[in-house]
Structure 1
Amino acid sequence: MEDMHFTSLNFGTSGKSCFFGVFDGHSGKRASQFARDQLAKYLEVDLQQLGPREALQSAFMKTDASFLQRAEKENLNDGSTAATALLVGRELYVANAGDSRAILCCGQSAIPMSVDHKPDRPSERERIEQAGGTVVYFGCARVNGILATSRGIGDRELKNWVIAEPEIRYKKLEPGDDFLVMATDGLWDVMTNVQVATIISGEKNAQAAAKKLTAEALKLGSMDNITALVVDLREMLADMGPSADEKNG
């Protein structure tokens, strides 16, 4: 199993933030384990000096650089996707590198909080080719005919093209935002965002929702490892009480 995940409901020096992550390893599990163990530590330190966006960006790059140092010493070629979410009060920041994915479920509707980094995504293909790489179809689009994702932690031999720089999306949470779903591609290979939102709509808690998604993905024939992390935002929003906008409304 190369999939890893991280959950902290009392994150940061104040303990008032939350941080979540899913990491899908390839060519071994060392990069995904390293990202799970280290990215949050870098982020916690960076948040003391930087805003959330800048801190997430910095933490991704530091995690990658640190793992690459180890990879050079140990001759490792492991790599990993990283989809993470930082919740500061009602402020949600999602940082993603790779083809794990995060969505916000609002009833049976889904808001994408990340876009998969696939080699044939036009902007990714252009970036790869400008850096001297190629996108070759071998079952699916692959960087230099090897890797089916175009960003991530590690991947020492493909680092010129498989970068760790995350894309970051932001949303202020509001009533009706029910669940945050973060999952590896074992789920998304067989389900659309809307299907995921529909399947878990009305579930009583995050654990039941995650189990339901995993079972459904297996039923639909997913052949990959599946990690589905579900965060029940209804509980969190209820604990926070009404926002300033709701009070004024």
Structure 2
Amino acid sequence: VYDGHGGQYVAEYLRTHLFANTVEKIKQLLASIHDNEKQNTAATNLMPKSTQKRPSMSNVLDTETAKDASSQVKRSDSSKSTKSNKDFVGEKVAKDKANECIKSCIGDDEPSTEQDCVTNESFSKSIAGDKLLSSTAKRSDSEENVNETPLKKDDAYNTLNIRKKSLANIKESAKEVGSVSSDDNHLYVDLNKNINYTKLLTDQILYLDSQVVEHCKTNTDLSGSTAVVAVLDGELLVVGNVGDSRAVMADDRGRAIPLSFDHKPNQLKERRRIKEAGGFITFTGVWRVAGILATSRALGDFPLKHPRPLVTAEPDILTFSLNDHKAQFVILATDGLWDVLSNEDAVSYVRARLHEPDFGAKSVAQYAYALGSQDNITVAIINFTKMNKNNTTPR
């Protein structure tokens, strides 16, 4: 849904290109994912069976190392807990020899130095043997702990750099990407073969904004537009918003769930951004950027973007699970509807008219006009109940 202001060029350009470009890009990404899966399957099937079943040398070495470590652990455990019978026998023999040596030396004025040396040597060997077994046990314990500690697998989402980019970097990325180029498909597919819709919608919107801004600068066109878009992928709902158009979901109990947030100049985050860009806001019935625009984000509106970016086209992207929210329908509408109807009132009105051919979209627009809305009104309804009955797959 697009809401043009200051002229219709930007809104018409978005209506023609944003939907078509995004759908075409999604088709390319799905085809790319499918082709990669086929190639991986074919490569696996082409591998000789002996190669597939034969363990690699690294696995063999790992197995042998594990066996050695296991045997060391068993030996060390037996020496750690209690001494074995063999150790007690060896120690008893050494003590008997020492006693014999002492008895033979009792009658002498001076003990036999040679026998003392033999006794000391036997005791030293016994103690050294115990120390060796103890150190071996400790070393094997540490090896056991290392072998038993599982290595954490790399999480695709944890390894990704998810720091928020600056607006300038995002715009440069969008310009390089282009609209429907297939050379950059890898940028939009994660390691789990899922499409990154946040990046996709952001790049598409910023790319089109750069196109319309250049055109408007050349032709001195002051038009601009807000936009709210929704993408369905199975049970995944992705909503992108630029400006003060709005998306609202109704669950199976008729509760209203906001899917987007209006970009108004008086919001703290938006007011701070405008001030940092060197701009200001004024109140003339409604809050306006530089006393001109009543929304803080929009596509087009080049005088408010150059030379200072007081207004931005960077969208907010939110993702929702239809199953978790038990969604019944979604309303996408311009601010002409929301100026006179709350989220709850709009949901209640549409819910009572889902049986109509357009699921109540026309009725709620006429109702908003009758309530005195002074702005243009555009409404789109996505009826998930109808989709489920027809067994249609949104993707």
* TM score, norm. by length of structure 2: 0.54
Give the Cα separation in 2 of the matches to 1:26 and 1:121: 21
The correspondence of residues 28-67 of structure 1 with structure 2, limited to 5 A, is 28-47=7-26, 48=29, 49=185, 50=188, 51-67=196-212
| Range that drifts further, 231-240 or 211-220 | 231-240
Instruction: Pick from 182, 187, 192 the counterpart of residue 337 of structure 2.
Output: 187
CA shift, 1:201, in A, is 1.6
CA shift, 1:42, in A, is 3.2
Answering whether residue 230 of structure 2 is matched by residue 85 of structure 1, we say: yes
| Range that drifts further, 200-209 or 29-38 | 200-209
Question: Counterpart of 1:92 in 2: which secondary structure?
Answer: strand
Check whether the contact 2:359–2:381 (CA below 8 A) recurs between aligned residues.
Answer: no
Name the counterpart of 2:373: 222
Give the Cα separation in 2 of the matches to 1:70 and 1:237: 43
CA shift, 1:28, in A, is 0.4
Q: CA offsets per residue over residues 13-59 of structure 1, 9 Å max, x none? A: xxxxxxxxx10001001010011111123323543221211100001
Aligned AA (1:140):
V
CA shift, 1:241, in A, is 8.1
Structure 1 vs Structure 2 CA RMSD: 1.7
Gaps of 5+ in 1: 1-21, 243-249
Check whether the contact 1:24–1:81 (CA below 8 A) recurs between aligned residues.
Answer: yes
Aligned AA (1:230):
I
Give the Cα separation in 2 of the matches to 1:216 and 1:129: 38
Answering whether residue 318 of structure 2 is matched by residue 169 of structure 1, we say: yes
Count of aligned pairs: 221
Aligned AA (2:330):
L
Answering whether residue 5 of structure 2 is matched by residue 26 of structure 1, we say: yes
Aligned AA (1:56):
L
Name the counterpart of 1:15: none
Gaps of 5+ in 2: 30-184, 189-195
Aligned AA (1:180):
V
Answering whether residue 388 of structure 2 is matched by residue 237 of structure 1, we say: yes
Name the counterpart of 1:137: 283
Larger Cα-atom Rg: 2
Give the Cα separation in 2 of the matches to 1:166 and 1:206: 31
Give the Cα separation in 1 of the matches to 2:276 and 2:339: 28
Instruction: From the two aligned structures, give the one with the greater helix fraction.
Output: 2
Answering whether residue 269 of structure 2 is matched by residue 123 of structure 1, we say: yes
| Range that drifts further, 37-46 or 94-103 | 37-46
Answering whether residue 262 of structure 2 is matched by residue 112 of structure 1, we say: no
Instruction: From the two aligned structures, give the one with the greater strand fraction.
Output: 1
* TM score, norm. by length of structure 1: 0.84
